[in-house]
Amino acid sequence: MKLKLSTILQLKKVQVEYFKLEENIEGINKFLLDADFLPIEFTARDGKKQYKGISFTLKVNHRTKNPALKAEIKIVAAFDVDKNLSEEEQVKFILYNGLSILYGIIRGMIFQACSILPPSMRLLPTVNIIDFIKSRLQKLKDEDELKK
């Protein structure tokens, strides 16, 4: 069966801002993940096209002693979103689908970049993006209320 391209959301550009990876074949095989994101907006170089996007940072085993894998990645992505959707719907599509896409890209980058670890020690686990987004948005809301 032929797949159709999404008319609602398309990834237009991905840029890796930072990528640090450490491997230790004798380290502990576990994954403690810390992540953060910020919705962003920017204009294309031609000054005409507006894009919405995400800046996403992932830290793997950042504070873990002697892990087999330690990584830190910051990635920025631009998306083309269906303009017929409300602003709220556009943001939701970018957050939920966009973060899922970016996490998948990062999983692949780490898996491919590791050279000495066996596959079971370099494949990041799947995560619950919905809970992550809800908790992050709540934290941003709480921080806004503290500023008032």
Token pair of 57 as six digits: 């940072």
**The pLDDT of residue 72:** 98
pTM for this structure? 0.89
Strand ranges (E), the chain:
9-23, 33-43, 50-60, 69-81
Token pair of 76 as six digits: 């920025």
Q: How far is the first Cα of the chain from the last one, in angstroms, to the nearest whole number?
A: 54
> Pick from 84, 108, 90: which is nearest to 39 by CA?
90
Number of helical H runs and strand E runs in the chain: 3, 4
Q: What is the pLDDT of residues 17-64, one digit of tens each?
A: 999 999 999 999 999 999 999 989 887 777 777 889 999 999 999 999
Contact between residue 102 and residue 88 where contact means Cβ atoms under 8 Å apart = no
